Structure formats: structure tokens, C-alpha cells
């Protein structure tokens, strides 16, 4: 008996969508009514829950980021476990060494006597995450502590900064999981990727930015390396360039001539371009870090390194700045490059020997700062053409219009290509989920469009107020017509129609079936 | 039953491959969100619990307690358990009146009554067994066919028919025969 009831219930479930259909069905099989009617009424109640329109989720992207951060953390924990990596003792050593000269002596003894000279030497090539890395950092810190000459200390700090950057590159190159920090100048800012001191880092929505950061700002970067070789920036903080490593007070006054950290986001000053009379930098302290830098051409960091050391540097008469970035806008009077507006005039040399100047291309700029604070470009070199790189971009929105070449969905226009996969039939007002590629110029190429049909069914009756091939107005309600809409009878304005359809997110109804009732005295249809 | 493609994806996910886990999230998060929303009727809460479902997935993806046959079914079960926990903790706050969706043609009193009925029905579903609750939600709230539910839950269609009958009967008993 139960099997039979189950089978009949299942059959009826698909047929019953209203009180009327339920009563009609039960009337045909009165013998089963006692058992099944209460269950079928319950089903109608359950279906009413389904008809409730689901608000589009606003925070799923945040959940995705949270999940991926957790994945990175788990991977790192796993890698540490596999390597038998001890918990970092570095912070405790660091704080220990701050205390007194007596402690310094003790630490010196600890490093050389307990660990042995060989151990310290062996740690030199260690990287963050290696067991000997804490020894390497402790040895460096000790070296800083016993260096009392100001210039020598500054030079040592620059060497250590360079070493941290090399470590970051090595970690990224070996695709190891680690957390590390380094310092350097911001020398390139693109959408999701920055270059700091020659090290490429990735910026996410969760990256914390502290301080007034622009191209050329000296910053400390805390990154987490991922297994794909990406260095994901966790925190970027502006920092005075002359400041020593985190545990040390600054021994070097900031040279006013070569380094500005004014709120006007001044890029790094540098030497003059070859075409101009060079501004002679003050006598330089030899910097062995320069020869170790893998970047073949002089970088912003190196320049700043050379000019920032002498505490008595005299301000040059004309401060020249150099920066690099993506061209965001070009007008006759000014260009915007990497977020920085720079004026151009007849004397500005535009070097297009490598690539054509266009929005999206990468350019390096040498400019002078004018009295009013603006930048005037002396030379703009286009280094790299507009990249073909395309970024994935996903969004949801209501369909506004569509054609064979482009659709307008929400506030976006997407380009349709032969490769675009479209699931569902477009209709104005329907919700569409779009997976697209965003080109450098901002255009969106649709890869996939999934059209969501609304689930809430509506039925009403009213007077037809207007008629067009795609849209009617019935009793004040916009009823959209598509190829699936079944129209029974001959429609005319003024006649009564029964509309069955789906409630669209924008409040209109997608007509599925429209029954035009025959009127004894039809109203003439306007032309 | 899993496709080879999904099996490969899950194998990579077990190795904490970020791209694989991101793909899993993209593939299932909206469905899980819809499921939780139907159970709770509260969008911010559904978003929060959706994130929790995937964090739980990550915690358990290598465990022997993870899915045996259907990965998506396992995700739905995690979601179900979170919903039940939510109801057990007594956190099913009523939606404030001004947040109820009100169609222009509806009288506010009707809207209030409808919402109360829906909340009682949702609470009653959470008192069913895990399988009964899943089949009721997937069939009547998500609109899935018996075949789809059978695949998701790793059962035969006949078993699903029996399950939905028992689930409806149990739900009827929980409600106590009173008119909703």
C-alpha cells in the first residue's frame, strides 16, 4: 500500500501547482484523498518557499578570498611541518639584542661559540623558512649593532635591504611557501601587480596599505609566497628610507635634496637624463649592492641608494624625477602614467623606438618638478606596448539589451564572439551571470553568459494598455514577449487579457502565456 | 559518481591547489548559497554560512569523513548541518518587518502572515533527519528532479521517492497537523 501511495504521490507532485489543481486531482481519486491530501497541501506550502525570489549574493567573492587565504595558510603550515622547520626564534633574539651592550657580548659569544663560526657561515645562503635562517638574521643584526660609523651602518643597511630583496626573488623562483618582508622603492604600480625594489608582488583586496604610497615611495613590504611563485602582499607600509631595519633607530638624517616624502606623492628624484645636463650627485659611497642587482639597467632603488646616504647632501637646483607605469590617458597637454599626471610640451622627447605610445602601454618618464608642484616631462620612453594580457572578470546583472555583437548587462557592455557560450535565451530584465575577460583597454569579452530564469510564477488579468512586438503593458504591468510567449486570441489595446508568466527581477513579467479574451465590443486598435 | 574531470579537480584540491579550490568554489558556491537561503530566508546569513561550508570542506577534504560517492552531496550535507546548528542554537531571528519583500499588491498583514508561516516551515524542516531534510529542500525548494537528487545523494530514484514520502509524512507530524 505504501509503495502505491509513494508512486501516486510522486506522480501528483508534478501535476499540482495550485489549490485548484490539488482539489481537482483529489476529486478524481477520493479513495486516496485521506492519505495524500494533507501531504499535497504541505507540498504547496513548500513550493511557496521556492517561489520566493533569492537576493543575489553580495559577499560570495569575499568568501572566496577568505577560503583561498586559508588554503595558503594550510599549505605553508604543511610545508613547515615537512621541513621540520622550528618556530622562528628570530624575534626573541632580536629583542634580546636590544637590551644592552652586555647582552650584545653575550649574543656574540652565543653566535660564534655556541653555534660556531661554521654554522654562521653556512647560514649565509639560507632563505626564509630554512632552519639556519634565524642564525643568518641574528648574525646580521649583530653586525649592525657593532657597526658604529654612521656611513658604514647606512651602507650595511642597504646591503641588507638588497639581500632581503634577493631572498624574496629566490623564494618566488623556488615556489616555496614562506612569509617574509623587505624594503625598497615602489617603481611600478599596475592594477594587481607592483614592483618594489625590482621585486614583483601581487596586490589583493586584503592587502593593507599604510601611509602615503605612490611611485617612488620607500616602503616595507610584508609578503606571503604562494606555491605558484607569486608573492602576495599582506601589508605595505611607507617607511623613511634612511631608517634602519625594524629594530634599529635611524642614525641618518633624511637628505632633503634627494628625497621628498611630501603628501604630493613625489616620485623618486634621480639623475638627469642623458640628453640633459646631468645634475651631479654628491660624492657617492661605493655601494656593492649595485653590482649584485640582477636588473641590468639602473633602477630607482639604486639611484636612491646612491643619493640618500650622505647626510650633508646639498639640494640640487632642479629636482628631476623618474618613474614608470602604465599609460592611463594621453592628451595634448598632459599624460597620466601610473596614476601620476605629467605635463608635456614641445620640448618633451617621446621615444617610441620600442613601442607605440598608447593607453595601456608601459612608459618610463623623466621629468622635472615645477614650482607649482606639477611635473613636466623631459622624456617619455615607451618601453612596452599595450599588453595583450586579459584579466578574468565575473559579474551578475540584469540584461538591458543584446545583439549578435554585444550585450548590455547591468552597467557593463560585453563583446560577444564566436567563442562566447550562452546558456538560456536573453530577455530584457533577466538576471545573467557573466564570465568575461577584461582587456587592457577595459573592454569585456564575454566567455560565458548564463541566463537565470526567474522562478516566481505570476498570473493576473487586466486591460491591455499598449502593444509592441517585444513589450505589452497590461493593467499597468510591463509584460515582455519573447519567442516562447504563447499568445491566444487577437490582441488589441483595450481588450482584457489573462497573463501567465514569470516575475522578472526588474518588476516586469516575462509572458509565457497570454489569453486575450474576446470582447463583444472591441476597442479599435490605435495605429 | 564523479566525472574524470571532477575527480582530477578534487585530487588537486586535496593537495591544497589554490586554482582547484577556487574552481570548486566558483562551481558550487552559488548553489550552496541558494540552498542555505531557502532554508533560512536570510541573505547575509546565507552568505556567511556559505563561506563556512567551504572552510569546513577545506578542513575535512583529506579526512576519511569526506565524501564517499558524491562531492556535491557532501557539500550539501555540510550546509545542512550548519543550518541545523543554526536552528539548534536558537539564532533564527525573525526578519524585521521592514525587510520583508512586499509586493505592491499584497496587504502588509498578508505578507507578515506569509513570512511567519515560512519561518515555521523552515524550522520544521530542520527537525527532519539529514536525508529527509535534504530531499525536501532539493526537491521542493530547489526544484531538482528525482534523478538529479538521486545522483547527488548517491541513491536510486526509487529510494528518493520513498524518502520524499517519508519526509513529507514526518514533516506533517512535526507541524502537528495544524494549518500553516
- How many residue pairs bridge chain A and chain B with CB atoms within 8 Å of each other? 121
Q: Is B121 in contact with A45 (Cβ distance < 8 A)?
A: yes
Q: Which residues pair with A208 in a beta bridge?
A: A235
Q: Is B140 in contact with A43 (Cβ distance < 8 A)?
A: yes
∠ CA A29-A30-A35 to the nearest 5 degrees? 95
| Cell representation of residue A414 | 560585453
DSSP letter for each residue of A337-367:
ETTEEEE--TT-EEE-SSS---TT-EEEEEE
| Alpha-carbon torsion (A407, A409, A413, A416), positive or negative | negative
Strand segments, DSSP code E, in A353-456 are 362-369, 375-384, 391-402, 406-409, 412-415, 421-423, 431-438, 444-452
Q: Is A5 in contact with B165 (Cβ distance < 8 A)?
A: yes
Is the pLDDT at A116 greater than 80? The verdict is no
CA distance B161 to A507: 36
| Cell representation of residue B58 | 577545506
Q: Report chain A residues whose CB lies below 8 A from the CB of B115.
A: none
Q: What is the pLDDT of residue B53?
A: 93
Residue-wise pLDDT tens digits, A417-463:
888 999 888 888 888 889 988 876 778 899 999 988 877 788 888 88
Largest CA-CA distance found in chain A, in angstroms, rounded: 111
Q: What is the pLDDT of residue A111?
A: 56
Residue A287: closest CA among A161, A391, A100: A161
Can you tell me the ipTM of this complex? 0.79
Between the alpha carbon of residue A144 and those of residues A133, A139, A250, A370, the distances in Å are 17, 9, 12, 40
Q: Are A477 and A460 in contact (CB under 8 A)?
A: yes
CA distance A15 to B16: 46
Residue-wise pLDDT tens digits, A271-280:
333 333 333 3
Chain A residue with minimum CA distance to B104: A507
Q: Is A52 in contact with B122 (Cβ distance < 8 A)?
A: no
Superfamily assignment of A457-516 in CATH?
Answer: Nucleic acid-binding proteins (2.40.50.140)
Residue A433: closest CA among A480, A404, A399: A399
Q: Is B51 in contact with A68 (Cβ distance < 8 A)?
A: no
Which single residue is written with the C-alpha cell 620607500?
Answer: A218
Residue-wise pLDDT tens digits, B49-102:
999 999 989 888 887 667 777 888 889 989 998 888 887 776 554 443 334 444
Q: Are B109 and B102 in contact (CB under 8 A)?
A: no
Which of B111, B168, B179 should be substituted to probe chain A, the one whose Cβ sees the most A Cβ atoms within 10 Å? B168
Highest mean pLDDT among A266-270, A302-306, A354-358, A517-521 belongs to: A354-358
Q: Is B140 in contact with A39 (Cβ distance < 8 A)?
A: no
Residue-wise pLDDT tens digits, A307-321:
333 444 444 445 667
Does B41 touch chain A if contact means CB atoms closer than 8 Å? yes
Which single residue is written with the C-alpha cell 532554508?
Answer: B39
Q: Is B122 in contact with A49 (Cβ distance < 8 A)?
A: yes
Alpha-carbon gap: A369 to the closest alpha carbon of chain B (Å): 45
Phi–psi pair at A441, nearest 5 degrees = -85, 5
Which single residue is written with the C-alpha cell 604600480?
Answer: A189
Phi–psi pair at A118, nearest 5 degrees = -65, -40
Residue A502: closest CA among A493, A511, A513, A494: A511
Chain B residue with minimum CA distance to A74: B16
Residue B129, SS3 per DSSP? coil
Q: What is the pLDDT of residue A229?
A: 77
Q: Are A94 and A247 in contact (CB under 8 A)?
A: yes
Q: Is B172 in contact with A38 (Cβ distance < 8 A)?
A: yes
Which of A53, A67, A507 should be substituted to probe chain B, the one whose Cβ sees the most B Cβ atoms within 10 Å? A67
Alpha-carbon gap: A50 to the closest alpha carbon of chain B (Å): 4
CA distance A40 to A397: 36
- Exposure pattern of A52-80 as b/e (b: 16+ CB <10 Å)? bebebbebbeebbebbbbbbbebbbeebe
Residue B124: closest CA among B172, B177, B179: B172
Residue A27, SS3 per DSSP? helix
Q: What is the pLDDT of residue B50?
A: 93
> Which CATH number is A76-238 given?
2.40.50.320
Q: Report chain B residues whose CB lies below 8 A from the CB of A67.
A: 21-22, 25, 51, 54-55, 58
Q: Do domains A391-452 and A457-516 have the same CATH topology?
A: yes
Alpha-carbon gap: B39 to the closest alpha carbon of chain A (Å): 9
Q: Report chain B residues whose CB lies below 8 A from the CB of A66.
A: 51, 55
Q: What is the pLDDT of residue A91?
A: 41
Architecture of domain A391-452: Beta Barrel (2.40)
Residue B80 DSSP one-character state? H
Residue A217: closest CA among A364, A321, A327: A321
Q: What is the pLDDT of residue A191?
A: 73
pLDDT classification of B143: cutoffs 50, 70, 90: confident
Between the alpha carbon of residue A160 and those of residues A32, A167, B171, the distances in Å are 86, 10, 69
Task: Give chain B's mean pLDDT.
Answer: 80
Is the pLDDT at A393 greater than 60? The verdict is yes
CA distance A123 to A130: 9
> Which positions 77-136 of B are in contact with A (Cβ < 8 Å)?
101, 114, 117-118, 121-122, 136
CA distance A63 to B39: 19
Residue-wise pLDDT tens digits, B111-127:
666 667 778 888 888 88
Is the pLDDT at B17 greater than 80? The verdict is yes
Domain ranges for chain B, please list them.
4-175
Domain ranges for chain A, please list them.
2-50, 76-238, 297-384, 391-452, 457-516
A9's torsion region: left (phi>0), alpha (psi -120 to 50) or beta?
A: alpha
Superfamily assignment of A297-384 in CATH?
Answer: Copper binding periplasmic protein CusF (2.40.50.320)
Which single residue is written with the C-alpha cell 499568445?
Answer: A487
∠ CA A133-A243-A104 to the nearest 5 degrees? 50
Q: Report chain B residues whose CB lies below 8 A from the CB of A227.
A: 17-18
Residue-wise pLDDT tens digits, A327-353:
888 888 888 887 788 889 888 999 988
Amino acid at each position: 500500500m505504501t509503495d502505491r501511495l509513494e508512486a501516486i504521490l510522486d506522480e501528483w507532485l508534478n501535476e499540482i501547482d495550485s489549490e485548484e489543481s490539488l482539489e481537482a486531482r483529489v476529486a478524481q481519486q477520493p479513495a486516496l484523498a485521506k492519505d495524500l491530501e494533507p501531504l499535497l497541501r504541505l507540498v504547496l506550502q513548500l513550493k511557496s518557499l521556492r517561489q520566493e525570489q533569492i537576493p543575489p549574493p553580495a559577499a560570495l567573492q569575499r568568501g572566496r578570498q577568505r577560503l583561498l587565504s586559508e588554503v595558503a595558510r594550510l599549505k605553508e603550515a604543511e610545508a613547515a611541518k615537512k621541513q621540520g622547520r622550528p618556530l622562528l626564534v628570530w624575534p626573541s633574539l632580536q629583542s634580546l639584542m636590544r637590551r644592552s651592550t652586555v647582552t650584545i657580548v653575550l649574543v656574540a659569544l652565543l653566535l660564534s661559540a655556541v653555534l660556531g663560526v661554521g654554522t654562521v657561515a653556512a647560514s649565509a645562503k639560507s632563505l626564509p623558512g630554512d632552519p639556519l635562517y634565524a642564525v643568518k638574521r641574528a648574525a646580521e643584526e649583530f653586525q649592525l649593532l657593532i657597526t658604529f660609523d654612521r656611513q658604514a651602518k647606512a651602507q650595511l643597511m642597504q646591503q641588507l635591504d638588497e639581500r632581503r630583496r634577493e631572498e624574496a626573488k629566490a623564494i618566488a623562483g623556488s615556489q616555496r611557501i614562506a612569509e617574509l618582508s623587505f624594503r625598497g622603492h615602489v617603481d611600478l604600480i599596475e592594477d594587481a601587480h607592483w614592483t618594489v625594489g625590482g621585486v614583483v608582488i601581487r596586490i589583493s583586496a586584503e592587502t593593507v596599505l599604510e601611509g602615503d604610497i605612490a611611485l617612488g615611495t620607500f616602503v616595507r613590504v610584508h609578503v606571503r609566497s604562494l606555491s605558484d611563485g607569486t608573492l602576495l602582499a599582506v601589508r605595505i607600509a611607507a617607511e623613511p628610507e634612511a631608517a634602519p631595519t625594524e629594530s634599529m633607530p635611524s642614525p641618518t638624517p633624511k637628505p632633503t635634496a634627494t628625497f621628498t616624502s611630501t603628501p604630493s606623492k613625489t616620485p623618486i628624484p634621480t639623475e638627469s637624463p642623458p640628453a640633459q645636463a646631468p645634475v651631479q650627485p654628491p660624492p657617492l659611497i661605493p655601494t656593492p649592492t649595485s653590482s649584485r642587482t640582477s636588473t641590468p639597467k639602473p633602477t630607482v632603488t639604486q639611484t636612491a641608494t646612491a643619493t640618500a646616504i650622505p647626510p650633508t647632501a646639498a639640494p640640487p637646483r632642479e629636482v628631476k624625477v623618474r618613474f614608470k607605469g602604465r599609460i592611463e590617458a594621453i592628451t595634448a597637454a598632459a599624460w597620466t602614467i601610473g596614476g601620476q599626471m605629467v605635463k608635456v610640451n614641445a620640448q618633451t622627447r617621446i621615444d617610441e623606438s620600442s613601442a607605440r605610445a598608447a593607453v595601456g602601454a608601459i612608459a618610463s618618464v623623466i621629468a622635472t618638478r615645477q614650482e607649482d608642484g606639477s611635473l613636466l616631462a623631459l622624456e617619455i620612453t615607451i618601453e612596452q606596448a599595450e599588453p595583450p594580457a586579459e584579466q578574468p572578470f565575473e559579474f551578475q546583472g540584469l540584461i538591458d539589451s543584446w545583439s549578435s555583437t554585444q550585450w548590455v548587462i547591468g552597467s557593463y557592455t560585453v563583446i560577444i564572439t564566436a567563442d562566447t557560450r550562452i546558456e538560456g535565451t536573453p530577455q530584457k530584465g533577466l538576471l545573467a551571470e557573466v564570465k568575461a575577460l577584461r582587456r587592457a583597454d577595459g573592454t569585456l569579452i564575454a566567455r560565458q553568459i548564463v541566463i537565470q530564469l526567474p522562478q516566481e510564477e505570476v498570473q493576473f488579468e487586466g486591460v491591455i494598455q499598449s502593444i509592441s512586438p517585444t513589450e505589452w503593458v497590461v493593467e499597468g504591468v510591463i509584460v515582455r514577449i519573447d519567442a516562447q510567449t504563447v499568445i491566444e486570441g487577437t490582441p488589441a489595446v483595450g481588450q482584457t487579457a489573462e497573463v501567465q508568466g514569470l516575475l522578472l527581477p526588474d518588476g516586469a513579467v516575462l509572458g509565457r502565456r497570454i489569453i486575450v479574451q474576446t470582447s463583444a465590443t472591441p476597442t479599435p486598435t490605435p495605429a | 559518481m564523479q566525472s574524470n574531470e571532477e575527480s582530477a579537480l578534487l585530487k588537486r584540491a586535496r593537495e591544497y591547489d589554490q586554482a582547484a579550490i577556487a574552481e570548486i568554489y566558483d562551481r558550487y558556491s552559488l548553489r550552496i548559497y541558494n540552498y542555505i537561503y531557502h532554508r533560512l530566508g536570510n541573505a547575509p546569513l546565507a552568505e556567511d554560512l556559505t563561506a563556512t561550508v567551504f572552510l569546513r570542506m577545506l578542513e575535512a577534504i583529506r579526512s576519511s569523513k569526506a565524501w564517499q560517492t558524491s562531492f556535491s552531496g557532501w557539500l550539501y550535507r555540510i550546509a545542512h548541518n550548519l543550518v541545523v546548528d543554526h536552528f539548534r542554537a536558537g539564532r533564527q531571528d525573525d526578519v524585521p518587518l521592514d525587510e520583508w519583500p512586499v509586493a505592491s499588491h499584497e496587504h502588509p498583514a498578508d505578507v507578515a502572515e506569509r513570512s511567519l508561516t515560512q519561518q515555521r516551515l523552515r524550522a520544521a524542516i530542520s527537525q527532519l533527519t539529514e536525508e529527509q531534510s535534504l530531499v525536501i529542500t532539493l526537491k521542493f525548494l530547489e526544484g531538482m528532479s528525482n534523478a538529479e537528487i538521486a545522483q547527488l545523494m548517491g541513491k536510486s530514484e526509487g529510494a528518493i521517492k520513498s524518502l520524499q514520502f517519508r519526509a513529507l509524512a514526518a514533516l506533517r507530524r512535526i507541524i502537528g497537523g495544524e494549518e500553516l
